[in-house]
């Protein structure tokens, strides 16, 4: 009998990846058993680190922002999106000291984003464009507002040390926005949900050859993540809050606020990859933003069969 494969999954410590965090903790504590694989999770500090680990083959898959996954696929990495990991849950905050009273006040300032290829960057672009402001990378001298790519966990500290108040704010996955507000450095400008209802952001991707050689293991892990999504959606009790606190390594008040008072969703029906929505992201980031060079065939990029099978089995 062959040994069960190790599923090595990279991620960031953000609420978008909470399904992985809680599932991993339950497996570690033997509250849930895996029959076909061993789950290994790797917390990383940046999207660049996740990408490098995928390219080097150090990990089999990742919870990763959808545009980055598209870009990796476009450049030849043989991966598939198996599920969305959440819906909504990001926030745009403004620097308390930067004198931001309206969107127009962003002009001439810098906004921090976790990646050029992020939904946060896309939503900021749409928001600023709607106010007639051009938005581009920090080296574009013609732009009204520029963005600087910063690791999410460094954003609050960077804004705190912004002596000349050049940073207008940042767009980021929770809990980092709520952390900055809690610490009195920022004020919430708007949630990502208010800009695009139930938008996706991160996806679960796996290497295609891993999927082909470990079908039962992949089926089982997608079922686990789907059930964990339902658990978070349904309960949000003290045990879930405690596990989220442990996974995210943030103050309990911040975690409680994010889980109980934001628009973050983990319902399994919302975790089914939506081809149409992914095409909206791809088209906007190619045609309006110019950050994608080549478009991909999203139908080849997505494999919804595992999550659809899980949801179907749970109905019976």
pLDDT tens figures, 138-180: 889 899 999 999 999 999 999 999 999 999 999 999 999 999 9
Q: What is the pLDDT of residues 26-54, one digit of tens each?
A: 999 988 999 999 999 999 999 999 999 99
Separation of alpha carbons 171 and 118, rounded Å? 10
Q: Please say whether the beta carbons of 14 and 176 come within 8 A.
A: yes
What pTM value is reported for the model? 0.96
pLDDT band at 5 (very low <50, low <70, confident <90, very high): very high
Distance of CA 268 to the CA centre of its chain: 16
Say yes or no to pLDDT of 1 above 50.
no
Phi and psi based region of residue 229 (left: phi greater than 0; alpha: psi -120 to 50; beta: remaining): alpha
Say yes or no to pLDDT of 314 above 90.
no
State which H helix or E strand residue 186 sits in. Answer: strand 186-191
- 74-77 own/partner pairs: CB under 8 Å, 24+ apart: 74/292, 74/293, 74/294, 74/295, 74/296
What does the pLDDT average to over 230-242?
92
Q: What is the pLDDT of residues 239-288, one digit of tens each?
A: 999 999 999 999 999 999 999 999 999 999 999 999 999 999 999 999 99
pLDDT at 316: 64
Tell me the C-alpha to C-alpha distance, in Å, between residue 75 and each of 78, 122, 253, 297, 304.
9, 21, 41, 13, 22
Separation of alpha carbons 296 and 89, rounded Å? 26
Locate 280 and state its tokens.
Answer: 């909206």
* Mean pLDDT (the chain, rounded): 95
What share of the chain in percent tops pLDDT 90? Answer: 94
Q: What is the pLDDT of residues 100-125, one digit of tens each?
A: 999 999 999 999 999 999 999 999 99
What does the pLDDT average to over 285-299?
95
- Structural domains of the chain in order of their starting residue, each with its CATH number: 6-87+199-315 (3.40.190.10), 90-195 (3.40.190.10)
State which H helix or E strand residue 206 sits in. Answer: strand 202-207
pLDDT at 202: 98
Q: What is the pLDDT of residues 55-84, one digit of tens each?
A: 999 999 999 999 999 999 999 999 999 999
Nearest to 65 by CA among 122, 25, 21, 138: 122
pLDDT at 257: 94
């Amino acid at each position: 009998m062959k040994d069960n494969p190790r599923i090595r999954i990279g991620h960031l410590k953000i609420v978008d990846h909470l399904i992985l965090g809680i599932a991993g903790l339950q497996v570690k504590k033997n509250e849930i058993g895996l029959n076909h694989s061993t789950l290994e999770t790797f917390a990383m500090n940046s999207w660049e680190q996740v990408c490098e680990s995928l390219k080097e083959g150090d990990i089999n898959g990742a919870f990763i922002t959808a545009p980055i996954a598209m870009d990796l696929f476009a450049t030849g990495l043989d991966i598939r999106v198996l599920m969305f990991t959440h819906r909504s849950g990001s926030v745009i905050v403004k620097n308390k000291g930067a004198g931001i009273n309206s969107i127009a006040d962003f002009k001439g300032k810098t906004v921090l984003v976790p990646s050029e290829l992020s939904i946060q960057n896309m939503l900021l672009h749409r928001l600023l464009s709607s106010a007639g402001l051009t938005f581009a990378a920090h080296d574009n001298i013609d732009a009204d507002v520029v963005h600087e790519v910063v690791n999410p966990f460094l954003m609050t500290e960077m804004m705190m040390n912004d002596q000349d108040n050049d940073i207008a704010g940042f767009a980021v996955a929770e809990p980092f926005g709520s952390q900055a507000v809690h610490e009195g450095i920022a004020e919430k400008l708007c949630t990502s949900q208010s800009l695009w209802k139930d938008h996706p952001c991160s996806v679960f991707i796996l290497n295609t050859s891993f999927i082909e050689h470990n079908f039962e293991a992949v089926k089982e892990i997608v079922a686990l993540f789907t059930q964990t999504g339902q658990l978070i959606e349904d309960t949000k009790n003290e045990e879930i809050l405690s596990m989220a606190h442990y996974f995210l390594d943030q103050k309990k008040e911040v975690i409680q606020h994010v889980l109980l008072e934001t628009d973050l969703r983990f319902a399994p029906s919302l975790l089914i990859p939506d081809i149409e929505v992914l095409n909206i992201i791809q088209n906007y980031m190619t045609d309006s933003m110019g950050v994608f060079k080549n478009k991909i065939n999203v139908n080849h990029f997505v494999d919804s069969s595992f999550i659809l099978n899980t949801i179907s089995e749970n109905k019976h």
